[in-house]
Amino acid sequence: MKQLLKNKKINSKLLIIIFFCFQQTYGQKTCFKEETAKFHNELNNKDHKKTFNWLKQAAEANHAYSSHDLGLLYVQGNGTISINYKKAYIYFERAAYLGIHNSMRSLGIMWELGEGKKINLAKAYGWYRLAGDFVPTDWDEWYIPRSKVLMFKRLAPKLAKKMTSSQIKAGDKYYKKIKSRVNCNFNLWVKKHF
């Protein structure tokens, strides 16, 4: 009888552990919506890069490249869209938290140069470090040349030469904070699904 009660306690603990593992694995908020795949396929099949409304729809569906492209449109402007650093920051940040290394670098540039933000080298350093972490190193040389990978890896150390030790410490703290918010990696998702 004691053995049976002991087994029930062990089994109930095991069930609780399995429940929490299952919940963590399958209960997480998904990074990408069903429409994300649709927009990704359309991007590869048609030239929608010049269509502003299409880019906005795709960005709302968490299509990371579209969010990055919208950020670029707002930074550079064109005949119909005027330069708006505040909106550019929003779209770059969305793409960065989806794991897009180019957006992480763009945010670093905005903080370093004070484009739409007050210059903050610690935040620039944090974004540059993150960009160095997320630049794909296992893609084909034709897709991402090794020179680009090295450039991304050197962004933070290069900026650190202009910073004080307290700024670097603040940058490391900011890096940890923003890295914890990146819960998706669009490049890995694309590689896995397409």
pLDDT band at 16 (very low <50, low <70, confident <90, very high): very low
Please give the Cα distance from 112 to 73 (Å, whole number).
20
As given in the structure block, the two tokens for residue 36 are: 């994300």
Q: How many helices (H) and strands (E) does the chain have?
A: 10, 0
- Phi-psi region for residue 39, left (φ > 0), alpha (ψ -120 to 50) or beta? alpha
Please give the Cα distance from 60 to 63 (Å, whole number).
7
- pLDDT of 91 higher than 70: yes
**Amino acid, res. 190:** V
When mean pLDDT is compared across 4-8, 115-119, 139-143, 161-165, the lowest value belongs to 4-8
- pLDDT of 20 higher than 70: no
Domains and CATH numbers, the chain: 32-193 (1.25.40.10)
The verdict on pTM exceeding 0.85 is no
SS3 annotation, 22-75 = HHHHHCCCCCCCHHHHHHHHHHHHCCCCCCHHHHHHHHHCCCHHHHHHHHHHHH
